[in-house]
Amino acid sequence: MHSDYNRRQFLRHASLGVCGLVFVGIDAAAKPTVRQVWIVQVSASGQVSAPERIDAIIQSNAQWHAQLSQDAFDITRREGTEAPYTGKYWDQHGQGIYRCIGCDTALFNANTKFDSHTGWPSFWAPIASENVHNTVDTRLGMRRTAVNCSRCDAHLGHVFNDGPKPTGLRYCINSVALNFIALA
Ligand SMILES: [Zn+2]
């Protein structure tokens, strides 16, 4: 009994030691319970700042459901897709910043928006590569590249290789995942 206790204590301390080493190695200031991400902040006038490391937004489905509309929840948290030509931004042309509906991170600048004739708002680049991340999506019997918000992991849409210059990319994004703010 006594030796079992000592062994458990030893294992507990050993694992704490390993965790401590890992966190020191990554970032001495990092909190062990909060994941952090690099994000580029964009001001109301469109000014882009240097990337900074901030806490990711991690919430339960119940919390997201309370915060978002049903459509926004279904699309951003359950990887849904809005019907083409039904969203509020596919035919919008004003200058401004498209931000994440979940966490307000700046995702796309209207100056990269183009008419893709698909019925979804389409962009040839994100506002900053840090602010979105790609994952492989093999649903529907296809291999596609899904695009998510880096800070809150909201599903935004997909990116394809048939876009216009200068990138040749087409970020096909659900309107309901975005919140457009006209330039101040
Ligand atoms: Zn987000």
Per residue, the 3-state secondary structure of 47-92, as one string, reads: CECCCEEEECCCCCHHHHHHHCCHHHHHHHCCCCCCCCCCCCCCCC
Position 11 confidence tier, pLDDT thresholds 50, 70, 90: very low
Please, are residues 125 and 112 in contact by the beta-carbon 8 Å criterion? yes
Residue 47 has pLDDT above 50, yes or no: yes
Contact 170, 159 (CB under 8 A): yes
Q: How high is the pLDDT of residue 28?
A: 53
Cα(126) to centroid of ligand 1, in Å? 13
**First-to-final CA distance of the chain:** 69
Q: What is the mean pLDDT of residues 86-103?
A: 97
Residue 27: DSSP 8-state: -
pLDDT in tens, 163-180: 999 999 999 999 999 999
Q: How far, in Å, from the CA of 101 to the mean position of ligand 1?
A: 7
> How far, in Å, from the CA of 70 to the mean position of ligand 1?
16
**According to the model, what pLDDT value does residue 144 have?**
96
Range 50-75 average pLDDT: 97
Q: Which of 100, 103, 152, 172 is catalytic?
A: 172
pLDDT score at 124: 98
Q: How many CB atoms lie within 10 A of CB 153?
A: 20
Domain boundaries, the chain: 1-28, 34-182
User: 131 C-alpha vs ligand 1 centroid, how far in Å?
Assistant: 9
Q: Is residue 172 annotated as part of the catalytic site, yes or no?
A: yes
pLDDT tens, 15-31?
A: 444 444 444 445 555 55
Instruction: Please give all residues whose CB falls under 5 A of ion ligand 1, grouped by chain where several chains appear.
Output: 100, 102-103, 105, 149, 151-152, 154
- Look up residue 145 and give its two tokens: 């590249």
Q: How far apart are the CA of 179 and the centre of ligand 1, in A?
A: 11
Residue 125 has a pLDDT of 98
Does the domain made of 34-182 have the CATH classification 2.170.150.20?
yes
Q: Considering only residues 46 and 20, tell me which one the structure prediction assigns the higher pLDDT.
A: 46
Give pLDDT, residue 123.
Answer: 98
| DSSP assignment of 110-173 | GGGEE--SSSS-EESS-S-GGGEEEEEE-GGG--EEEEEETTT--EEEEEES---TTT--EEEE
Indicate if the pLDDT at residue 49 is higher than 70: yes
With a pLDDT cut of 90, the percent of the chain lying above it is: 79
